[in-house]
A and B are shown apart, each in its own frame.
Chain A
């Protein structure tokens, strides 16, 4: 079963609006990563947040992590049409086990 579950499954917003995606997971983690995938292409790493961090920023991206609730959120501010993609969270539970990806949120930004 998937470790991370993104919510919502799909999101449609207007250009310039903010987009928020959530990820919930089941077991304790070492870190959580967010990736973006443009249609039918490979994934691109966006940001990594460690379990002892609560918030990280990268450009227009803001990621929060709440380990007590086992959840993370990805905020994209001032969205652009080029942000249209699927966004995945991936969790590292340690022990040299591989990353486990959620099923993703499909974001559509309408110009």
Chain B
């Protein structure tokens, strides 16, 4: 099976712009989670989706949003970018209904740089 894929791999944006990141989970996986990783804060949970429904949301401002499509692919959007949004954004999929019980399979990440 193909692994989790994320596009694009690298992105450079300027403050105030918006960005959309895409994640395709492993075939058959219906749960997708998003994480933000920075050197200072480590891995911070953003959201989790299962069958197009958001099951969990982390403590991030409303500028961060996401969705999941019927084919389980997911997108996350960040509007009005700030310098502090520069990070590695990781997507993970799992075979269960989500939550911490499942093993997470991570994609390679999207490196976002905000100038």
Contacts and interface: CB of A to CB of B under 8 A. Distances in A.
Interface of A: 2, 30-31, 33, 35, 40-45, 48, 88, 90-104
A70 B108 CA distance: 31
Given A40-B111, A45-B104, A96 B98 contact: yes
Contacts of A43: 90, 92, 104, 106
Given A97-B56, A99-B104, 17 more contacts: A33-B103, A35-B106, A40-B109, A41-B109, A42-B108, A42-B109, A43-B106, A45-B105, A95-B99, A96-B97, A98-B56, A98-B58, A98-B98, A98-B100, A101-B42, A101-B43, A103-B43
Interface of B: 4, 33, 35, 42-43, 45, 48, 55-56, 58, 88, 90, 92, 97-101, 103-109, 111
A48 B96 CA distance: 15
7 contacts: A33-B104, A42-B107, A45-B103, A45-B105, A95-B99, A96-B99, A99-B33
A46 B107 CA distance: 15
A64 B57 CA distance: 30
Contacts of A94: 99-100
B99 A92 contact: yes
Contact of B100 (A41, A42, A88, A92): A92
Given A42-B90, A102-B42, A97 B107 contact: no
